[in-house]
């Protein structure tokens, strides 16, 4: 293990330039490259790099964290460099105190085939429209992984789930749940409907109780941004469902709502 570790003595070392000032200069959207942070997210990335559509390009560690991630590093290909630095140098590199002390630079490999064409005949998917909050985006992926959703479709106005904070909140689930981010919400749903999906939008004023919607071979749950919710054009065109809750409350946040709704739909479909 020690033989593959490369000591970094200066924050100006060009080999770790990708990790420099990551708070101000996140790598999201740059040729599908991103920063993964924390031991659990690193482990998920390394697992996904073994045929899961992701590549681990390099790792940067606080020296005292090496032993704690040794078993993960052993699974990396020999050509992936592992850099180590003392706390003072690491803080100068990233631009703030990084108490986790574990970073990796990864790259997503985009499949040539459309995601909808790769889904099984029996599928449950989650669709997000205008999801701009990184915490909510990460939670949606964690919920999708927990309740066996086959994929997540995000419209072009939603944030990139490869943003460092979204990845961290998802606890690496972004690497496990296939996703696509493109087009308008209506474009996404029209394409899913054409492929046999029953579309269920989630709204506080939905017509059906989420616990009562009929299970079908292909189901899509659609959620919108907090506050404005889903666009009228989407609500008017597709079925709507609601989560029963106490009177006088406005609505649940997206993270909580998707968890409850996916649990109900996954249970109805006997996926869990």
Question: Rounded to whole angstroms, how far apart are CA atoms 52 and 30?
Answer: 20
DSSP output for 22-54: TTTS--TTBTTEEEEESHHHHHHHHHHTTTSSE
Range of lowest pLDDT (39-48, 108-117, 206-215): 108-117
pLDDT for res 4: 86
Q: Own/partner pairs for 115-120, CB < 8 Å, 24+ apart?
A: 115/151, 115/153, 115/178, 115/179, 115/180, 116/153, 116/191, 116/192, 116/195, 118/178, 119/150, 119/151, 119/195, 119/218, 120/150
CA atoms within a 13 Å half-sphere pointing along the CA-CB vector of 136: 21
Question: If pLDDT is split at 50, 70 and 90, which confidence band does 24 have?
Answer: low
Question: Rounded to whole angstroms, how far apart are CA atoms 29 and 116?
Answer: 22
Q: What percent of the chain has pLDDT over 70?
A: 96
User: What are the pLDDT digits (tens) for 155-202?
Assistant: 999 999 999 889 999 999 999 999 999 999 999 999 999 999 999 999
Question: Rounded to whole angstroms, how far apart are CA atoms 47 and 245?
Answer: 39
Kindly indicate whether the domain formed by 115-268 is annotated with CATH number 3.40.1280.10. Answer: yes
Q: Is the pLDDT of residue 92 over 60?
A: yes
User: What are the pLDDT digits (tens) for 121-140?
Assistant: 999 999 999 999 999 999 99
Question: If pLDDT is split at 50, 70 and 90, which confidence band does 229 have?
Answer: confident
pLDDT for res 27: 58
CB atoms within 10 A of CB 191: 16
**Model confidence, pTM:** 0.92
Closest CA to 224 of 199, 257, 267: 257
Domain with CATH 3.40.1280.10 in the chain: 115-268
Domain with CATH 3.30.1330.30 in the chain: 2-108
Q: For all residues of the chain together, what is the average pLDDT? A: 91
Q: Give the CATH number of domain 2-108; options: 3.30.360.10, 2.30.30.90, 3.40.30.10, 3.30.1330.30.
A: 3.30.1330.30
Stated length of the chain: 272
């Amino acid at each position: 293990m020690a033989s593959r570790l490369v000591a970094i003595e200066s924050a100006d070392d060009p080999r770790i330039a990708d990790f420099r000032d990551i708070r101000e200069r996140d790598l999201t959207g740059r040729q599908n490259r991103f920063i993964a942070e924390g031991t659990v997210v690193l482990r998920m990335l390394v697992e996904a790099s073994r045929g899961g559509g992701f590549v681990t390009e390099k790792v940067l560690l606080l020296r005292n964290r090496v032993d704690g991630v040794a078993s993960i590093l052993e699974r990396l290909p020999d050509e992936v460099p592992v850099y180590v630095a003392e706390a003072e140098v690491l803080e100068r590199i990233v631009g703030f105190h990084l108490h986790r002390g574990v970073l990796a630079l990864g790259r997503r490999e985009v499949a040539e085939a459309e995601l909808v064409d790769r889904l099984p005949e029996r599928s449950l998917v989650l669709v997000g429209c205008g999801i701009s909050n990184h915490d909510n985006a990460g939670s949606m992926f964690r919920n999708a992984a927990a309740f066996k959703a086959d994929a997540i479709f995000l419209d072009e106005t939603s944030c990139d789930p490869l943003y460092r904070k979204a990845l961290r909140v998802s606890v690496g689930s972004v690497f496990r749940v296939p996703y696509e981010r493109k087009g308008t919400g209506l474009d996404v749903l029209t394409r899913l409907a054409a492929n046999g999906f029953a579309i269920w939008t989630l709204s506080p004023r939905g017509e059906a109780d989420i616990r009562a919607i009929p299970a079908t071979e292909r189901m899509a749950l659609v959620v919108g941004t907090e506050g404005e919710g889903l666009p009228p054009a989407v609500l008017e065109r597709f079925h709507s469902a609601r989560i029963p809750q106490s009177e006088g409350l406005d609505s649940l946040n997206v993270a909580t709502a998707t968890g409850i709704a996916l649990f109900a739909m996954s249970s109805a479909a006997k996926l869990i």
